[in-house]
Amino acid sequence: MKKFTRIEPTTQQSFGLQYKKVALIKRFQTEDGKLHEFTTFYKQGDHAAAIIALTTDRKVIITYQFRAGPERWMYDIPGGGVEKGEEPQAGALRELKEETGYEPGHIEFLGTNSRDAYSNGVWYYYFVTDAVPVSEGRSLDEEEQDQGAEVRFISIAEFLEHAKHDRMTDPAAVLMAYDRLKEIERGSK
């Protein structure tokens, strides 16, 4: 297996109209002197955070919105980009509050995930139990409003089914919480 060393320059290009995405052309050199160019997506160091959140009656808090990739309505765990200078956990909690109008309860770190071989940035995942509504409610940004994001409360069994049947855009975190969710599901029966 060849060893890759990152070399400059790196080229950045944005695409999309009002809701832009970034593509980053990275360059690498292998030991044999060969140069390799790869197009990756999202900016380096732009991290995101998301939460699998359960209410006090063990319902999963999930958003439901139209998604431009699959071109259909998809379930999503609450989350989004971590802002500059923000801790990932604080970013996850801010997104939970903005998108769903809920706050913990109890929070624990689940892990990180690089969801694609050609994506930059890491996703941080958290598990929240006993989430309760905040008095001020939700506050959506323009993109979330445009996508018509709704909040749903579903059973753990339904949540796992959505993750397994391509009805969720972000199922990577589900594995990290799988045993806990099954345990809570058994306990609540």
CA distance 70 to 167: 10
**x-marked contacts with another protein along 164-183 as a string, rule CB under 8 A:** xxx-xxxxx-xxx-x-----
Q: Is 177 helix (H, G, I), strand (E, B) or coil?
A: helix
Nearer to another protein by Cβ, of 25 and 56: the residue is 25
Contact call for residue 108 and another protein (CB under 8 A): no
C-beta of residue 99 within 8 angstroms of C-beta of residue 134: no
CB of 188 to another protein, least distance (A): 20
Contact call for residue 118 and another protein (CB under 8 A): yes
Residues 65-104 that bind another protein (CB under 8 A): 66-71, 73-74, 76
Residues 28-47 that bind another protein (CB under 8 A): 28, 37-41
C-beta of residue 65 within 8 angstroms of C-beta of residue 149: yes
The long-range contacts involving 107-115, CB below 8 angstroms and separated by at least 24 positions, are 107/51, 110/52, 110/173, 110/176, 110/177, 111/176, 113/172, 113/173, 113/176, 115/170, 115/172
Binding-site ranges for another protein (CB under 8 A): 1-4, 6, 13-21, 23, 25-26, 28, 37-41, 66-71, 73-74, 76, 110-120, 122, 146, 148, 150, 163-166, 168-172, 174-176, 178
